[in-house]
Amino acid sequence: MLLSFKEQCSCLWLGTRTCTDCRNGQERSRITDRYIFKEASKGFRPFLVIGLIFEGIPSFAWPLVRIILWLGIINGSFAFSLWTWSQKYLRAYENSLINNLMLLEVAVLDILILHRKLSVAEALGLLIVGLNDQLLTAWSITDILIP
């Protein structure tokens, strides 16, 4: 099931708000919440306005609520946990490799989960980006390990 632009904007806004509300063990203050909401709203506000202009006000649907809760709570906490683990236990170049491949990983997941078909140019672009990142990382590692 693909979401419309309006539903994506709603998911983004509610997911962002849910993530800021679910911080583990941190003291919440009005100043921090206002600051986080202000900064997060800079990103979603243009999408929300464009979505409302082109598609109108979204209708309430339980599948949309489930998607928002899943993205905000489960995916958000899982991604944050993985990120903090990688920062704590991986070396800098390993972490850099993972971060540089993130867009490539998103594209591959898009192909696997949403069954998207790639053109030859898109597949070639993904291959070039992946190989370039691997070569640059390997080159950087040899410079670090072998002076």
Residues 18, 56 contacting (CB under 8 angstroms)? no
Name, in order, each residue with C-beta under 8 angstroms of 16's C-beta and a sequence gap of 6 or more: 40, 43, 44, 72
Mean pLDDT over 102-131 rounds to 86
The average confidence (pLDDT) of the chain is 75
Which is more confident, 24 or 119?
Answer: 119
**pLDDT tens, position by position, 12-53:** 565 555 555 545 444 455 556 666 677 777 777 787 888 888
Name, in order, each residue with C-beta under 8 angstroms of 20's C-beta and a sequence gap of 6 or more: 33, 36, 37, 40
Give me the helix-helix angle, 92-100 and 120-145, nearest 10°: 170
Q: Where are the alpha helices (DSSP H) in 22-145?
A: 30-55, 62-69, 76-89, 92-100, 102-114, 120-145
Which is more confident, 107 or 142?
Answer: 107
Distance CA 110, CA 142 (A): 33
Residue spans of the domains in the chain: they are 1-89, 90-147
Distance CA 97, CA 65 (A): 35
Whether 86 shows a pLDDT value over 60: the answer reads yes
Which is more confident, 102 or 147?
Answer: 102
**pLDDT tens, position by position, 47-83:** 788 888 888 887 878 888 888 888 888 888 888 888 8
CA atoms within 13 A on the CB side of 45: 6
